[in-house]
Structure 1
Amino acid sequence: MSRRVFRILIILSVISIIGIITVQIVWVRKAYALRERQFRQTAFIALQDVADQVGLLNGITQSCTAVTQLSPDYFIVNTDSPVDPGILEHYIQNSLRNHNLITDFEYGIYNCESDRMIYGAFVSLNANPQTVQASRNLPKFSRSPYYFGIHFPSQSSFIAGHLDGWIASSAAVLLVVLFFGYTLVVVLRQRKLTEVQRDFINNITHELQTPVATLRIAADVLQSDAILDQPERHRQYVRVVQEESLRLQKQVSSVLQLARSEQMQFTINPTEINLHQLLAEAAEVFRPHVSLELWAENAMILGDRYHLENVINNLIDNALKYNTATPHIVLETRNDGDRLVWSVQDNGIGIAPEHQPYIFNQFYRVPTGNVHNVKGFGLGLYYVCKVVKAHRWQISLQSIPGSGSIFTVKVRTTKPTAFVSKLSTVR
């Protein structure tokens, strides 16, 4: 499948997921609005019945508009005459039950003499036995001298309780969408891993072909009888065989070492190390391209000397390889509180911002098309990152394309007693 087709499928899949979620949300909102409208209509009818019963009790004929809604969950019922609180509460409970509005409510009766709501109470129809608590102050209504107000604090939960089917279907759809989204993420991750592995195989094939072809040519030459009469040329081809054999062995060893480190524990043996001494030895090996700026007063750290040497050499080696000008590498140290900060700065080609988050990934190499100017398998910085994490240090990168890169490592200079034992078994 081509990348273009794959991208189109991904875009269509994402659009489908968004569409399904949007449609489901719209339908749930419409269902909730419908239930809310039904609740309001049923409450109107139930409270109108209460007003009629109060009017019948007082010998008054109520109008058909005795109920007024002030808010989605607050209603005013005009009684046109005083009403006994106990009788009113009885009428309200019976009417709500008859209309299947089994939900909590609070009510208050307006007293025109004191101009305030009196006898407020909270009633729970769901409780067994019934519970009655003091109510908050309900807002007044100035259009009638005799009325009571009723508030439904649990209206939202009551409506939601009647949307069980919608909620269950929405949960099922959401679960399917989540599984589909997770599958999509796994497919994308697997495709990316496949591309990385394919690039690695292509790269390692290219890297191994060169020494193998050279060894084959040298072997053919050494098998000829004429080479025995040319000692100098014989020694030259023997040297080529030795060099290419070592190169091939190094390449195979790096891959095998990585495979073993992935399957087994990545063990380190921490000892007390003078980082300045280690950097000075590395600068001596790579001179004259490496200079030192050792400003740290305390350069003693705990770490695995072997792996730390490999980290320094890998960073310097990368700085030399990815450089189109005369290489100039600076090894710098400084103290930052209880940390020792050391860095490797170069004047190489740099790394573009879009590639920087991935440079420590396994097998990752900055894309350069089909050009293989720089040899490698994309394992050097992955190894560096793995060693740094095993020591519980921190590594960061600052790079500008065309201006070089700075790899910075922060190391603790303090040496807790338990630190050494923990480092020895860390992955």
Structure 2
Amino acid sequence: MSRRVIRTLLVLSVISIIGILTMQTLWVVKAYRLGERQFRQTAFIALQDVAEQVARLNRVTLGCDAVSQLSSDYFIVNTHSPVDPVTLEHFITQSLRQHNLITDFEYGIYSCESNRMIYGNYVSPQVHARRTASALPLLQTPEFTYHFGIRFPNQARFIASGLDNFIISTVAVLLVVLFFGYTLFIVLRQRRLADVQQDFINNITHELQTPVSTIRIAADVLRSEGIAEQPERLKQYARVLHEESLRLQKQVQDVLQLARSERMRFALNPQEVDLHDTLRRLAALYQPHVILQLDAPSPVIQADPYHLENIIRNLLDNAVKYCTGTPCITIRTRNEGNQLLWSVRDNGIGIAQEYHEKVFRQFFRIPTDRMHTVKGFGIGLYYVRKVIQAHRWQIRLQSEEGKGSEFVIVSI
């Protein structure tokens, strides 16, 4: 499957997921608004029944506009006559139950004589609990001489409880979307890994084929008749044979080293190591291109000598390989508190900011014009970071394209 097809499928999948979530959200919102409207209509009818019961009890004529709504959860009921609190509470509770509005409410009775609320209560039918109601805003107009106010503080919860099926379906859709997204993520990651592995196979085939072909040609020349009579040519091809065999050996060792580290998960053998001695010994192999500035007064660290030497060799090899002119490598050390900081800086081609994290990925190589002229498998810096993480150290990359690179390692 081509990358273009995968990209198209990814875009369509994202659009589908957004569409599903949008429709589900609109569906739930619409259902909630419908429930809110039904609650308001049912409350109107229930409170109208209460007003009629109070009117029959007091034998007064009830107006057609007995119930008014002041807010989404607050109603005013005009009784046109005084009413006993116990009787009113009984009427309210009974009427709400008949209309299946089993939810908490608080009410207050307003007296036209004292111009204040004379009684208030909070009723929770489900637990039969009561407490004093908070101050309710009651109307003070001639049209509402005797009236009571009632508020439903848990209206939103009551409406939401009637949307169980909608909520369950929404959760189910979200779970399906999450599983689909996770599956898509796994597929794309496997595709990326497959591409990386294919690139690695192509790269290693190209890298190994070069020294093998050179060795074969040199061997054929050395087997030819009369080569013994040409000592200079004999020495030249013997040198080529030796160099290419060493190069092939190093490439094989790099791959085996990575495979061993992946399998054994870095079974470290930490020892006390004098970093300065190790740096001096390895820097001698790259002279005259290395400058040492070993300023740390305490260079001893706990490290695995084998892996420590390997990561130093990797950093120095990269500094030489990725330099277009004469390599100039500076190795510095210093102490900061109980930490030992050491760095390898070069004057090479540098690394663009967008690749600072990617260069530590397995098999990754920066796409440049020098991709095939510079030999490697894209496992050097990946191995370096794995060793540093295994030691619980830290590594920082400071680099700009065309201005060289500096790798700073913080050791404890």
TM-score, normalisation: structure 1: 0.91
The correspondence for 1:135, drawn from 133, 136, 144, is 133
Contact 1:42 / 1:99 at 8 angstroms: preserved in 2?
yes
Counterpart of 1:136, as a letter, is S
Which residue in the other structure is 1:59 paired with?
Answer: 59
Using the TM superposition, give the Cα deviation of residue 176 of structure 1 relative to its aligned residue in structure 2, in angstroms: 1.2
Higher mean alpha-carbon deviation, 259-268 vs 206-215, is at 259-268
Contact 2:138 / 2:148 at 8 angstroms: preserved in 1?
no
Contact 2:365 / 2:371 at 8 angstroms: preserved in 1?
no
Distance verdict in 2 for CA 1:103–1:189, change over 3 Å: same
Q: Does 1:358 align with 2:375?
A: no
Which residue in the other structure is 2:334 paired with?
Answer: 334
Which residue in the other structure is 1:94 paired with?
Answer: 94
Using the TM superposition, give the Cα deviation of residue 220 of structure 1 relative to its aligned residue in structure 2, in angstroms: 2.3
Contact 1:69 / 1:76 at 8 angstroms: preserved in 2?
yes
Q: Distance in 2 between matches of 1:396 and 1:351?
A: 13
Which residue in the other structure is 1:196 paired with?
Answer: 196
1:10-49 → structure 2 map (5 Å cutoff): 10-49=10-49
Q: Distance in 2 between matches of 1:245 and 1:256?
A: 16
- Percent identity among equivalent residues? 64
Helix, strand or coil at the partner of 2:353: coil
Deviation track 1:61-83 (CA, whole Å, cap 9, x = no partner) reads 22222222222112221222221
Contact 1:48 / 1:64 at 8 angstroms: preserved in 2?
no
Counterpart of 2:85, as a letter, is P
1:302-313 → structure 2 map (5 Å cutoff): 302-313=302-313
Distance verdict in 2 for CA 1:296–1:141, change over 3 Å: farther
Deviation track 1:267-313 (CA, whole Å, cap 9, x = no partner) reads 11112222223223333222222212233333222111221121112
Q: Distance in 2 between matches of 1:202 and 1:224?
A: 33
Contact 2:341 / 2:408 at 8 angstroms: preserved in 1?
yes
Which residue in the other structure is 2:267 paired with?
Answer: 267
Q: Does 1:74 align with 2:74?
A: yes
Distance verdict in 2 for CA 1:255–1:11, change over 3 Å: same
Unpaired segments ≥5 residues, structure 2: none
Unpaired segments ≥5 residues, structure 1: 413-427
TM-score, normalisation: structure 2: 0.94
Aligned length: 410
Q: Distance in 2 between matches of 1:371 and 1:299?
A: 37
Distance verdict in 2 for CA 1:337–1:82, change over 3 Å: farther
Q: Distance in 2 between matches of 1:261 and 1:16?
A: 43
Using the TM superposition, give the Cα deviation of residue 328 of structure 1 relative to its aligned residue in structure 2, in angstroms: 1.8
Counterpart of 2:411, as a letter, is V
Using the TM superposition, give the Cα deviation of residue 235 of structure 1 relative to its aligned residue in structure 2, in angstroms: 4.3
Using the TM superposition, give the Cα deviation of residue 370 of structure 1 relative to its aligned residue in structure 2, in angstroms: 8.5
CA RMSD of aligned residues (A): 1.9
Distance verdict in 2 for CA 1:339–1:146, change over 3 Å: farther
Using the TM superposition, give the Cα deviation of residue 92 of structure 1 relative to its aligned residue in structure 2, in angstroms: 0.7
Q: Distance in 2 between matches of 1:266 and 1:286?
A: 27
Which residue in the other structure is 2:147 paired with?
Answer: 147
Helix, strand or coil at the partner of 1:408: strand
1:332-411 → structure 2 map (5 Å cutoff): 332-368=332-368, 371-411=371-411
1:118-133 → structure 2 map (5 Å cutoff): 118-127=118-127, 130-133=128-131
Q: Distance in 1 between matches of 2:11 and 2:28?
A: 26
